[in-house]
Amino acid sequence: MEQDKRQKSIKVVDLFCGIGGLTHGFVKEKFNVVAGYDFDVSCRFAYESNNNALFVHKDIGEVDASEILAHFNDSDIKILVGCSPCQPFSTYSYKSQDKKKWNLLYQFSRLIKEVQPDIISMENVPRLADFDKSPVFTDFLNTLKNNDYKTFYKIVNCPDYGIPQRRKRLVLIASKLGEIELISETHTKDSYLTVKDVIGNFEPLESGQVSEKDPIHRASKLSELNLKRIKQSKQGGSWKDWDEELQLECHKKKTGKTYVSVYGRMKWDEPAPTMTTHCTGIGNGRFGHPEQDRAITLREASVFQTFPPNYKFVKDGEPFKVKTLSTHIGNAVPVTLGQVIAKSIRVHLKKHFTEEV
């Protein structure tokens, strides 16, 4: 196939953009992200302040194709990306087989059919690819096939790409230009980034303390009881390390044996556990600091999600809700994973166009 030698104009639109994890990955790889869509208006400040892109507060079901096409206007290459919220893909939702629960991904499919972008990317939880439990992913793949996309997807183990947390995600990329795939892994178990690599030099804090230099670097206040518990917790250990009087009744039951990670400390020499929307509390997983008697802070959680240390989440001097920001950070696509997707698309484009793209 003869290559087109004209300089290409490329624009990206991010659906379900949140505070900009996926978008920022593309921005760091020099892509022109022109707009992000999300139903949660509280994401606007972080998204726009860090990405020089328009935040559109809108329900994806109310987004018309003409609106998306207007963002792309005169671009040669249209890239549509997104991570539909993963709550619909819970175990309960799989059992219910209620198609309404999959509506967000079906809306993504609708826009793909109507907009016909040249390249798309979709990131989500691995469970989505369980074909035998729901038709939603099969339907999504069929939409791509029926609209002449070549598709590639895999379950990504995030540490393999330099993301310092044990997170697995389904990543799909598809193109009308031809075959496409993710770039090769960049790290092995011997070179995984660890907790110490990422937060080892952070300012030490006590329970309930807030950094004077960075209000996002704040430790949740522990109760007297939980402070006793974390003082008896060991790196990589569990509630089993505590004196019996500190243990919860539910832990003493037979079913409690499955909750070994709650109230646990991270280990310095391993990647962090998966960041969740509750990652700044010690009772929701192994989110205790390896040495300090506290849970990790919002800023520490954000760098585990590979946001830059200076990423602006809130306006200077304005109050904010810790729970809201914890949800934003836990729900975000890791920035580095966004870069991996963007780099993969860049490699793909260079195969088809001789000019720098």
Which residues are marked as active site? Answer: 86
Q: What is the phi/psi pair of residue 186, to 5°?
A: -105, -15
Contacts of 27-35 spanning 24+ positions with Cβ under 8 A: 27/51, 27/52, 27/53, 28/335, 28/338, 28/339, 28/342, 29/339, 29/342, 29/343, 29/346, 31/79, 31/342, 31/345, 31/346, 34/71, 34/72, 35/71
Entry field: residues in the chain: 357
Cα Rg of the chain (Å, integer): 21
Single-letter residue type at 202: F
Could you tell me whether strands 168-175 and 165-166 are parallel, antiparallel, or unpaired per DSSP bridges?
Answer: unpaired
- What's the burial of 163, exposed, middle or buried (CB within 10 Å: 0-12/13-18/19+)? buried
- Of 96, 102, 107, the closest CA to residue 136 belongs to 102
Strand partners, 265: 235, 288
- One-letter amino acid of 198: V
